[in-house]
């Protein structure tokens, strides 16, 4: 039970992965109590990374992991590329894969089942299904989970839909499957329903209170106050485009300036000024 950070991917001024920054970032997460990090996911601009860059990021994460569990984000439409990334993640020593459904073609349920079965059969690592339909336009549904449930490599689900109903559908599979929410405002509800915690973009910049909530829950303490603080932080920073918002907040926390890749855009000067005032009030 705990928080896994959906880590940003820092880039140098030349647009390549900034390895020293990334190593420092993972050490920062570990020091603040994270259980792990997911790399090359949505917050990590995974769809904007080439397959070799993703493999590079997996290796950098493992080298800098400390005690963190490292999950390799796999967000691609190509089954061959998914299998390549699964091999690379296993080769460098990642702990798990988080695999989004292929999202270009409108695949029928039978096609999604076949896709994931190939991945589960081939992977040497446990697999987490990634439900983020607002990005992929493809849902991880209970019938899909039911069809895959007995596979020994199926480890869990990350639900980033933001829907309480969706989260509760997945929590019915706990404890057979570990269930994480991407919507931080549902963290306490997830834990109360038997979930594993959160895989969170907000955790890049608001990790201590999220960790505190998980620890308070484990001790049987009231968590409403901590959840309210998390809600306010999420409302404030989510009003600005991710992951540029998180990269800005990390810069405010003392990390170097780093940019997002096109087609994403950095925050404008006006957005930075507005968020600076709002974020100061949150912290």
* Average pLDDT of span 85-101: 98
**Helix boundaries (H) for 70-156:** 79-92, 109-122, 133-136, 142-148
Rounded to an integer, the average pLDDT of 132-139 is 96
Does the pLDDT value for residue 1 go beyond 90? Answer: no
Residue 78 lies in a domain: yes
- pLDDT tens per residue across span 149-181: 999 999 999 999 999 999 999 999 999 999 999
Residue 77 in this model has a pLDDT that exceeds 90 = yes
What's the pLDDT score for residue 283? 82
58, 116, 130, 173: the catalytic one is 130
Please check whether residue 166 lies inside any domain of the structure.
Answer: yes
Residue 169 lies in a domain: yes
**For the chain, what is the mean pLDDT?**
97
* Domain assignment of residue 126, yes or no: yes
Instruction: Count structural domains, the chain.
Output: 1
185-214 average pLDDT score? 98
Query: What is this structure's pTM?
Result: 0.97
How far is Cα 127 from Cα 154, in angstroms, rounded to an integer?
Answer: 5
In a domain, 137, yes or no: yes
Strand pairing of 69-74 and 154-159? unpaired
Question: What are the tokens at 204?
Answer: 């890049």
Percent of the chain whose predicted confidence (pLDDT) is above 70: 100
Q: What is the 3-state secondary structure (H, E, C) of 99-114?
A: ECCCCCCCCCHHHHHH
Q: How far does the chain reach from its first CA to its final CA, in angstroms?
A: 25
Please confirm, yes or no, whether 105 is among the known catalytic residues. no
Q: What is the pLDDT of residue 13?
A: 92
Across the range 203-224, mean pLDDT stands at: 98
Query: Rounded to an integer, what is the distance from CA 229 to the centroid of its chain?
Result: 20
Question: Looking at residue 66, what is its pLDDT?
Answer: 96
Position 243 in a domain:
no
What CATH number should be reported for the domain holding residue 73?
3.20.20.70
pLDDT bracket for residue 219 (50, 70, 90): very high
| Residues spanned by the domain of 64 | 2-221
Whether 130 is catalytic: yes
Percent of the chain at pLDDT > 90 equals 98
Confirm whether 89 is domain-assigned. Answer: yes
Catalytic residue among 158, 173, 185, 240: 158
Residue 180 counted as domain residue:
yes
């Amino acid at each position: 039970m705990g928080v896994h950070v959906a880590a940003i991917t820092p880039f140098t001024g030349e647009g390549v992965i900034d390895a020293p920054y990334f190593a420092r970032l993972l050490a920062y997460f570990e020091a603040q109590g994270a259980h792990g990090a997911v790399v090359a996911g949505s917050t990590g601009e995974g769809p904007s990374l080439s397959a070799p860059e993703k493999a590079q990021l997996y290796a950098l994460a493992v080298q800098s992991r400390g005690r963190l569990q490292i999950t390799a984000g796999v967000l691609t439409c190509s089954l061959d590329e998914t299998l390549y990334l699964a091999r690379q993640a296993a080769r460098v020593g990642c702990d798990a894969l988080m695999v989004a459904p292929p999202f270009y073609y409108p695949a029928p349920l039978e096609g999604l089942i076949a896709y994931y079965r190939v991945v589960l059969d081939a992977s040497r690592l446990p697999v987490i299904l990634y439900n983020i339909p607002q990005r992929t336009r493809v849902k991880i549904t209970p019938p899909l989970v039911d069809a895959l449930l007995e596979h020994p490599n199926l480890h869990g689900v990350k639900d980033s839909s933001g829907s309480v109903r969706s989260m509760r559908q997945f929590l019915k599979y706990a404890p057979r499957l570990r269930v994480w929410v991407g919507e931080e405002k549902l963290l306490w509800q997830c834990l109360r329903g038997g979930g594993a915690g959160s895989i969170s973009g907000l955790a890049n910049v608001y990790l201590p209170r999220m960790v505190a909530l998980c620890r308070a829950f484990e001790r049987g303490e009231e968590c409403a106050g901590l959840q309210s603080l998390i809600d306010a932080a999420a409302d404030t920073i989510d009003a600005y485009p991710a992951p540029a918002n998180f990269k800005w907040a990390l810069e405010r926390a003392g990390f170097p300036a780093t940019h997002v890749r096109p087609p994403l855009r950095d925050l404008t000067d006006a957005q930075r000024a507005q968020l600076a005032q709002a974020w100061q009030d949150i912290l």
